[in-house]
């Protein structure tokens, strides 16, 4: 799967090669689990409810995933892998305005297409990130520092204003994920669910605000792709 292609299915088996039926069942189970976990949280979700939503016998879930925790962790792994790999291509040689605008668009499109995945992550972090302990380890901290180092290189080269890279990254993450995590709040205030056009307008505004705050000139919409 192209890590920057948000049109692809979110949940695709990444294990050993398997037959089409097995892969299809895994994708179906993971998608159903994401819906249930997003609505009811880890504790409020049962394997039986996931099986019903997936329209598969409960025994099939246990065949592919040993436990509810194992299934939950796998759902989380797919979410984080997609988010993290979309950030990997930035380098000190890039134009920061183009690179940041492109990344913000990718994250906003992820929120539009996969809001449930983002909500699962948000609920997990709010509840203490217990199931993310293995992910947020020293290797992840080193990866994060490597991403922050790209911003530091841009600043040192005079390509952008001196802002704290850590807080800038957190701002981008929170700003883009807000449109998924708090979609109900946005719907109630705006009086309707956000359309694709609404997301495009929100994306352009977010790019404008963040890049201007970094002393950058936002590229024309779509020019960064």
- Parse the chain into domains and list their residue ranges: 20-74, 86-213
pLDDT tens-digit readout, 3-36:
455 555 555 544 444 577 888 888 899 999 999 9
pLDDT of residue 184: 92
Which CATH class for the 20-74 domain?
A: mainly alpha
CB 210 within 8 A of CB 97: no
Question: Which of 165, 29, 22, 181 minimizes the C-alpha distance to 90?
Answer: 165
pLDDT of residue 23: 83
pLDDT of residue 13: 47
φ/ψ of residue 182, rounded to 5: -115, 35
- pLDDT at residue 76 tops 50: yes
pLDDT tens-digit readout, 181-205:
999 999 999 899 999 999 999 999 9
| 225 or 105, greater pLDDT | 105
Which CATH code is given to the segment(s) 86-213?
A: 1.10.357.10
CB 96 within 8 A of CB 162: no
pTM: 0.82
Confidence of residue 83 (pLDDT cuts 50, 70, 90): confident
- pLDDT at residue 170 tops 90: yes
DSSP per-residue string spanning 198-219 = HHHHHHHHHHHHHHHHTT--PP
- pLDDT at residue 1 tops 50: no
CB 145 within 8 A of CB 103: no
- pLDDT at residue 155 tops 50: yes
């Amino acid at each position: 799967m192209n890590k920057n292609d948000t049109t692809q299915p979110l949940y695709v088996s990444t294990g050993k090669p398997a037959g089409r039926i097995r892969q299809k069942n895994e994708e179906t189970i993971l998608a159903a689990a994401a819906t249930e976990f997003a609505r009811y949280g880890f504790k409020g979700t049962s394997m039986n409810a996931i099986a019903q939503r997936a329209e598969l016998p409960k025994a099939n879930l246990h065949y592919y995933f040993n436990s509810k925790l194992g299934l939950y962790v796998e759902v989380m792994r797919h979410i984080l892998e997609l988010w993290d790999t979309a950030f990997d291509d930035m380098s000190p040689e890039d134009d920061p305005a183009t690179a940041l605008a492109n990344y913000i668009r990718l994250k906003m499109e992820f929120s539009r297409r996969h809001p449930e995945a983002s909500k699962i992550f948000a609920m997990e972090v709010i509840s203490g990130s217990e199931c993310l302990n293995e992910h947020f380890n020293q290797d992840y901290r080193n990866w994060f520092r490597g991403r922050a180092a790209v911003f530091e290189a841009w600043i040192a080269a005079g390509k952008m204003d001196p802002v704290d890279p850590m807080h800038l990254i957190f701002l981008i993450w929170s700003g883009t994920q807000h449109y998924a995590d708090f979609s109900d709040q946005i719907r109630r205030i705006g009086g309707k669910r956000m359309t694709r056009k609404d997301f495009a307008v929100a994306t352009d505004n977010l790019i404008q605000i963040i890049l201007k705050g970094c002393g950058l000139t936002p590229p024309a919409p779509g020019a960064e792709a």
